[in-house]
A and B are shown apart, each in its own frame.
Chain A
Amino acid sequence: MSTVIKTEPNAFKDQLAVRSWKLPLTFGALALFAILVFAIFGPDGRATFRLSQDGDAWQLPDLVLPAKPVGILAAAGCVALAILSYLQTKLEGRTRRSVSNAFTVLFVLGLLVWIIGGTKSQNITLVGLFTGAMLIITPLVFGSLSGVLCERSGVVNIAIEGQLLAGAFTAALVGSITGNAYAALVAAAAAGVLVSVLLAAFSIKYLVNQIIVGVVLNVLVAGLTGFLFEKIMKIKVQGVTVYNDPPHLPNLPIPLLSDIPMLGPMFFRQSIIGYLMLVLVAVIWFGLFRTRWGLRVRAVGEHPQAADTMGINVNRTRFINVLAGGAVAGVGGAYFTLVAVSSFSKDMTGGLGFIALAALIFGRWNPIGAFLAALLFGVAGNLQSILSLAVTPIDGQFLAMLPYALTILAVSGLVGKSRAPAASGEPYIKG
């Protein structure tokens, strides 16, 4: 009875959505890997995850997982999801987001148990793994948020690294001079803005290729901070370095909330910069996707002519967003010298700005996505440093590659297509 009605929309749908087999194929390959590595050749050891730290108010028992059975389960789940992805692609033209998310979680779980079960040494505190990751990811998230602000308005920000480094340096210098950590924080934001002013002026006003400006600004900031570090920060007065001794921002645990197992140590025992990060993720997400301002910014980033036609000042919007991004990244840089270590050293950001760029892309230019991507990268990085001395089934260097490899897969559309704002990188000339 309904043949006509039924085939019509399907045919229409097929025409609209080009069926891509990349995702099912990738999942299939990964599932095969899971069967071979997690299940068949899985280690016989146990993976012990400690869920509580010693000082916690409520102690949870350790989670002990036998590596092989869990590996088999994870592999089976991966296979099932890969088949599901195949069927969905065949019938609906695309794999649902929930399936790909579930696949990712299951695969990571299997990988984690495999690595830890095969490691001959210690137990892994799951809390430690995540709280340690939180320490790494704080500057990462700030950097990514800076990127989100810039790129959503259509300016590519390769200078995140430079902004972080400028923030770190300025925070150390101003903190040492004033002795006030909050003044240092403000100064760091100002330093980030300063880098952004250059980025915005050259790319928006003088129409220099944005990627070139970004690359060059990174070199400029590295050179400038390095030079001033040698010239100013190494000055010693009575054997003490006076200009490289910034105050430390203490951790401020939130009562009650910080005692929640797992979540407490992760989110509620941070410095003020850490809390600011959580707030900013939420605020920027809300701002971009739920307010008039955000709609305008996104319009400028996707289709500047249309935005201009509607009376939005494209270049002013971009300028403001780039400056805001600089302030955010500058604060993130302050984390290095005010929280992580209490002194500045040359090139101390060590390429984190580029991982932030990776997190931004892997998180699909979305603040929350970028936060989760940064969390994943942070866990991988932390796992690498925890396991660096142990004998593991996988070398730590491969864990170190993970963020970059995932980002390449993401931009090439193998694991979910990550698409940049359409006008990102394009200068806009009214006319």
Chain B
Amino acid sequence: MRDPRGVEANESDQPAVSAGSLTGDGPADGGAPAGSAGEAELTGVGTSGRLPSTATGGDGDHTGKRIVREIMSGSALVSVLAVVVALVIGGLLIAVTDKRVAAASGYFFAEPGNTFAAAWTAVSEAYGALLRGATYDPGARTWLGQLGIFETLTFATPLILAGLAVTIAFRAGLFNIGAQGQIILGATFAGAVGFGLDLPPVIHLLAVIVAGAIGGAIWGGIAGVLKARTGAHEVIVTIMLNYIALSLVLYLLKNQLKAPGSTNPVSPAMKDSAVFPLLLGDNFRLHAGFLLAVVAVVAIAWLLNRSTLGFELRAIGANPSAARTAGMIVSRGYIVVMLISGALAGLAGVAQISGTEKSLDSEVAGSIGFDAITVALLGRSTPWGTFFAALLFGAFKAGGTSMAVNADVSIDIVLVVQSLIVLFIAAPPLIRAMFRLKTPSTRGAGA
């Protein structure tokens, strides 16, 4: 049923004139200034302003060649440079606002060295604390404090899952901003099963996981169905669903899900049989949810790169019109991908409620849903890329806390650095211009 010719058309991504209708992206595609394939994904030039799937993380046959090409073309280099530049700007902010630097700059012209020394101290203290907090800190008093690396993994767990949710939607050309709401719904469903039911140990945890996935899938599915049936833009719908989810959980926490006897809108604690077992004993928070996340990465990588469904989703993302011509049902693809995406975000909710939080409140999703977007962007919309991006952001979270305590630098600087990283990665021409890198040849880029 799937015409191989349609496939080819999609791979070489001839911009079907019908795809962009009259909006002018068609002819522009060939000469997209963004250059290489990996970049086109973020520039939105490819197909009608949508995020087309990238050819970078694509099919496995050419993976080896592609990695070589990636490094040669500097795509990976751009990512590294983006991180460096973002850290430098963050460092400047830290230095400029530091009290000692301000004091030293009072006599800048008499002794300029002092100002720079103070700035160096401030920045190295802050980033040093960040690094130690995220990996290994010999000076800390507790095991947990010493081996921050496990805290990094703990923070990364929901980010991996929610990042995957955004990634898979990206690949089908949908922008799921609603991970936040899907996490809340997933956690609510998981919580209802986790503290509401009495089940035997292993079965209980499995039921919680399934319930969370269903909760998230429902919320994601609403956006998918509306997109497929009415054309409602998924960005708007998912943003609105985030807020509806928050109101819904606040309502439930005031009524059905409230812990008896409590005056706060907090649910009862999860039953012991419904929480993830700890992986490293009681001293660390790292729980089996991390394993679930790794399994999810492998599964989604397989789904996207090896399965028929994943191929279909990528085709839809790359060029919906071509996919339709090749006999794929685009609207069904939208619904399916949003169900999967929602389920993954729901699992992130499970990781929160069964892993670290242990009870439901309205803050259960924290800022994970929004961090997930930046994680997916940093990971260039590939499952393993998302995994490592989530580890980096987990490290930022774990280290940021220690930085706030030990170096008196507010954890908000982490937000600044994270968003700058994504901005720079999304605009490779900017980084290239900054470092005078050669623009890679567009040949063979595929997009």
User: A residues bordering B, Cβ < 8 Å?
Assistant: 158, 198, 202, 206-213, 215-217, 219-220, 222-224, 226-232, 303-305, 346, 351, 354, 357-358, 361, 395, 397-398, 400-401, 404-405, 407-408, 411-414, 420, 422-423, 425-429, 431
Contacts and interface: CB of A to CB of B under 8 A. Distances in A.
B53 interface: no
Interface string B6-39: 0000000000000010111101100111100000
B49 interface: yes
Contacts of A303: 22-23
Nearest to B25: A426
B244 A401 contact: yes
B44 A209 contact: yes
A422 B48 CA distance: 11
Nearest to B410: A230
Contact of A431 (B23, B27, B427): B27
A220 B232 contact: no
What does DSSP make chain A's interface, helix, strand, loop or mixed? helix
**Secondary structure of the B contact surface, majority rule:** helix
Contacts of A208: 42-44, 423, 426-427
Interface residues of B, number: 62
Contact of B410 (A158, A219, A226, A358): A226
The 8 closest A-B pairs by CB, nearest first: A223-B415, A226-B412, A209-B44, A230-B410, A429-B28, A220-B419, A404-B240, A397-B251
Contact of A408 (B45, B51, B232): B232
B83 interface: no
Contact of B243 (A202, A206, A401, A429): A401
Nearest to A358: B240
Given A305-B22, A426-B48, A429-B28, A397 B248 contact: yes
A150 B12 CA distance: 34
Given A408-B240, A411-B233, A427-B44, A395 B24 contact: no
B45 A207 contact: yes
B43 A412 contact: no
B49 A428 contact: no
Given A198-B423, A400-B247, 20 more contacts: A158-B235, A209-B42, A210-B49, A212-B42, A212-B422, A215-B370, A217-B419, A219-B415, A226-B410, A227-B97, A305-B24, A395-B251, A400-B243, A401-B248, A408-B240, A412-B226, A412-B230, A412-B237, A413-B232, A426-B49
B241 interface: yes
Contacts of B51: 209
B24 A202 contact: no
Contact of B423 (A220, A230, A231): A220
B88 to A, nearest CB: 15
Contact of A426 (B24, B42, B175, B230): B24
A427 B50 CA distance: 10
Nearest to A354: B239
A206 B40 CA distance: 11
B52 to A, nearest CB: 10
Given A358-B240, A398-B247, A431-B31, A422 B414 contact: no
B42 A304 contact: no
Given A207-B43, A429-B28, A227 B410 contact: yes
B236 A223 contact: no
Contacts of B226: 408, 411-412
